[in-house]
Amino acid sequence: MFSRFGGGIHPPEHKSITEELKFVNLPIPHTCYIPLQQHVGAPAKLAVKAGDIVSEGQLIGRADGMISANVHSSIPGKVADIAVVPTVYGPQQSVIVEAEGTFSSSAMPHETRDWTALAREELLDRIREAGIVGLGGAAFPSAVKLSPPPGKRIDTLVVNGAECEPYLTVDDMLMKTFPDAVIEGTRILMRALGAANAVIGIESNKGAAIVSLKKSIAAPGIPDGIRVKKLATRYPQGAEKQLIYSLLRRRVPSGGLPMDVGVVVHNVGTVHAVREAVLYNRPLYTRYITVSGNAIERPGNYKVRIGMKIADIVEECGGFREPPVRIVMGGPMCGQSVHSLDVPVVKGTSGLLFLAGKGVAAREYSPCIRCGACVSVCPAGLLPCDLGNAVEKGRIDLAEDLNPFDCIMCGSCSYVCPAHRPLSHFIKLAQQKIRAARK
Ligand code: SF4
Ligand code: SF4
């Protein structure tokens, strides 16, 4: 038996489209549209003005406040404009950089550092300076996550290599391509947290990644305390609370955080980016993504510049085989529908899906038939049907009693509902209304 949590679903994986395709660097775009808010928290404060010449990796937005993140230029060139542009998070003030000059050096030196000689605070400074955020999609500033309040002792780092969303293979390819780097990044994060243990959770459908990481761990000089654990292939295995339970049998309390049970979780992509920041002083201005779906000509795993427009990525991937009915940033379960190709890739973009064919478009929904399917798959133990019915009737008071804030927005309930009820959407609406009423 593999480790798993209660509930969940196993939708068609669709990973075979890209799982064997090695990373390809996409050509540099002529223009990057770099939003100042690509992370949870306050937007970064503008650090350049129109007409400025910027280097690749130069700071263009400075973190503003406790929860925020630095933003860097993805290409060398000229700041053509500071303007509000459409993004997956809505219209955002952005720095528009037109490429010119050379790519031979970043604004920061690329010397390799012996990180084992760096103090914890120095590690955190490097991670903060580099603007690292959670690359699994949450985009929470990593340095903040690595700084638990006094009194919270972290004994275990969980590295999330589950990649449970259908279609996405970017984390799988990262673990297969750079296993030693992932293990080194894990060690850096253990040191930054003062955690003696790390467990890397990977779903059973990524056998080659499991083998690669186990081999890296067995190399001379790797300290004890790092384990790789095979997980059941079951969505949403990669959700923090479910992952912690599957790996450690610790339950994060309702309304609580992983740190309440001595754990901090980081995605493998984040771990890789942290190593790049600490060893090479490299800010987060590129990222790896999966481009997939039946509507794109050349699906694959690509390295792209942050701020590159989806339209430019589509062009580099050979255009469309057929017009997509649905475009998603992220995975099909938790990702966000995108309605324009003019939206840029941001730090939290793990994938771009271009889907066509039957069953892709949103369907009409009908009343609940009380079949109970949504209840049996909910990994948070909620009653999605009752929550949905309460919201539909405008009874937010009833919804509030059903713990809507325990919902992790995994979409499993909506996926199985035979009446096609948009249950997670209803629950999000309940959360928004309750928050507004509490203000
Ligand atoms: S109610 Fe929330 S946590 Fe439960 S299945 Fe639906 S989206 Fe997932
Ligand atoms: S799955 Fe849909 S129809 Fe069945 S109980 Fe839940 S909301 Fe009702």
Assess whether pLDDT exceeds 80 at residue 265.
yes
- Same domain for 141 and 275? yes
Residue 364 lies in a domain: no
Q: Are residues 127 and 276 in the same domain?
A: yes
Last residue of some domain: 246, 262, 280? 280
Radius of gyration of the chain (CA): 21
Distance 293 CA to ligand 2 centre (A): 28
Ligand nearest to the CA of 373: 2
> Is 40 domain-assigned?
no
Is the residue at 123 inside a domain? yes
Split at pLDDT 50, 70, 90, the class of 377 is very high
| Same-domain check for residues 119 and 257 | yes
For the Cβ of 421 lying below 6 angstroms from any atom of ligand 2, the answer is yes
**Contact 9 CB / ligand 2 (< 6 Å):** no
Would residue 86 count as lying in a domain? no
Q: Report if residue 28 sits inside a domain.
A: no
Report yes or no on 403 lying in a domain. yes
Residue-wise pLDDT for 175-218, tens only, equals: 999 999 999 999 999 999 999 999 999 999 999 999 999 999 99
pLDDT attached to residue 4: 72
SS (H, E, C) 107-149: CCCCCCCCHHHCCHHHHHHHHHHCCCECCCCCCCEHHHHCCCC
d(C-alpha 126, C-alpha 135), whole Å: 17
The confidence band for 316, taking pLDDT boundaries of 50, 70 and 90, is very high
Residue 329 resides in a domain: no
Ligand found nearest the CA of 9: 1
- Rounded distance from Cα 430 to ligand 2 centre (Å): 17
Kindly list the protein residues whose Cβ atom lies closer than 6 A to any atom of ligand 1.
377-380, 382, 384, 407-413, 423-424, 427
Q: Ligand 2 mean position to 417 CA, how many Å?
A: 5
Q: Which of 260, 280, 300 is the last residue of a domain?
A: 280
Give nearest CA residue, ligand 2 atom 2. Answer: 417
Ligand 2 in contact with 378 (CB < 6 A)? no
Classify residue 83: in a domain, yes or no: no
What average pLDDT does this structure show over 82-103? 92
Evaluate if residue 105 carries a pLDDT over 90.
Answer: no
Q: Could you tell me the pTM of the whole model? A: 0.94
Q: Is 420 in the pocket of ligand 2 (CB under 6 A)?
A: no
Mean pLDDT of the chain: 94
* 3-state secondary structure labels for all residues of the chain: CCECCCCCECCCCCHHHCCCCCCEECCCCCEEEEECCCCCCCCCEECCCCCCEECECCEEEECCCCCCCCEECCCCEEEEEEEEECCCCCCEEEEEEEECCCCCCECCCCCCCCHHHCCHHHHHHHHHHCCCECCCCCCCEHHHHCCCCCCCCCCEEEEEECCCCCCCCHHHHHHHHCHHHHHHHHHHHHHHHCCCEEEEEEECCCHHHHHHHHHHHCCCCCCCCEEEEEECCCECCCCHHHHHHHHHCCCCCCCCCHHHHCEEEEEHHHHHHHHHHHHHCCCCCEEEEEEECCCECCCEEEEEECCCEHHHHHHHCCCECCCCCEEEECCCCCCEEECCCCCECCCCCCEEEEECCCCCCCCCCCCCCCCCHHHHHCCCCCCHHHHHHHHHCCCHHHHHCCCHHHCCCCCHHHHHCCCCCCHHHHHHHHHHHHHHHHC
Residue nearest atom 7 of ligand 2, based on CA coordinates: 385
Q: Does any ligand 2 atom lie closer than 6 A to the CB of residue 373?
A: yes
240, 385: one domain = no
Q: Which domain holds residue 421?
A: 373-438
Q: Which atom of ligand 2 is nearest to the CA of 389?
A: 7
Question: 424 CA distance to ligand 2 centroid (A)?
Answer: 12
**Ligand 2 atom showing the smallest separation from residue 370 Cα:** 5
Could you count the other beta carbons within 10 Å of the beta carbon of residue 89? 16
State whether the beta carbon of 426 lies less than 6 angstroms from ligand 2: no
Picking from 246, 280, 314, the residue at the C-terminal end of a domain is: 280
Ligand nearest to the backbone CA of 403: 1
Same domain, 161 and 268: yes
Q: Can you give the CATH number for the domain in which 246 is found?
A: 3.40.50.11540
Cβ of residue 388 lying under 6 Å from some atom of ligand 2? yes
Per-residue pLDDT, 212: 98
Q: How confident is the model at residue 107 (pLDDT cuts 50, 70, 90)?
A: very low
Q: How many domains does the chain have?
A: 2
Name the residue of 363, 365, 374 whose CB sits within 8 Å of the most ligand 2 atoms, as the mutation to test its pocket.
374
**In this predicted structure, which of 1-15, 143-157, 367-381 has the lowest mean pLDDT?**
1-15
Q: Which atom of ligand 2 is nearest to the CA of 388?
A: 7
Do 269 and 132 lie in one domain? The reply is yes
